[in-house]
Each structure stands twice: as structure tokens, then as C-alpha cells.
Structure 1
Amino acid sequence: MQLYDLYLNTKKPGIGLYVASGSDLPDFADPKEWIFDGTAAADLLPPSVIEGVANVGHAFRDMD
């Protein structure tokens, strides 16, 4: 099963950034602004997150 790492933005905690488990953050994401918040299995995530990661390597999600 595919796993995805979740990072939360310290300035905007309502925004989650998902990447494939073990991947680095995308080039645009300043690592100081994102904190690792865990790993989730594909069956626990909306299809839009899985598709986004598959298509561009990352996906954002509204965490509110």
C-alpha cells in the first residue's frame, strides 16, 4: 500500500502538504516552514491527494 507523508505549515496550520512517503519536500517549500505530522495510507486520503502526488509529486489539503 502506498504511504504519504503529511507536513503542516507553521504559519498556516490549516494547510497540509502531502508527498510520497520518504520523498523530500518540493523545491518551493521552505523546510523551516513545514513540520512533519505523520504518515497516512492511501485508503485514508481523498482521491485528489493521491492524484496530485501522482501527477506533480505533491498535493495540498485543507486541514480545517
Structure 2
Amino acid sequence: MKNTDTTLLTVEAVADKLSLTNKTVRKHIRSGKIPAQKHGKRWYISTSDFYRIFAEYMTT
């Protein structure tokens, strides 16, 4: 099933919301823990993926 959510968050926004560093978020993107899309030189995370990640992060 393809993600149809068009609202995207930057690495910086995700890091801020999860109280992580930008470097940590990028590390999770590289490892595949956080699904992301690269547009140009920047990475973006869909809001639906963010809420799923946030729910997992809050339960650990």
C-alpha cells in the first residue's frame, strides 16, 4: 500500500518533536528505522510515518 500523505516534515522538525538531534534522526533514516524521502539534498518524513514512529518512541 502506497503512502498517500502529502504532508512532509523535515529532519529538523522530527528531531525537535522527538527531542532528538538532527544527527540521530538521520542515523535512523540511514538504518531504515525511519522511512524518509529525499528531495534534492534534504530528507523528509511523512506525517503519517511520523505519528507511527512517535507512538513507538513513546512506548519504549
Report the TM-score, using the length of structure 1 for normalisation: 0.29
Larger RCO: Structure 1 or Structure 2 (Cα < 8 Å, ≥ 6 residues apart)?
A: 1
**Which structure has the highest helix share of the two?**
2
**Which structure has the highest strand share of the two?**
1
Report the TM-score, using the length of structure 2 for normalisation: 0.30
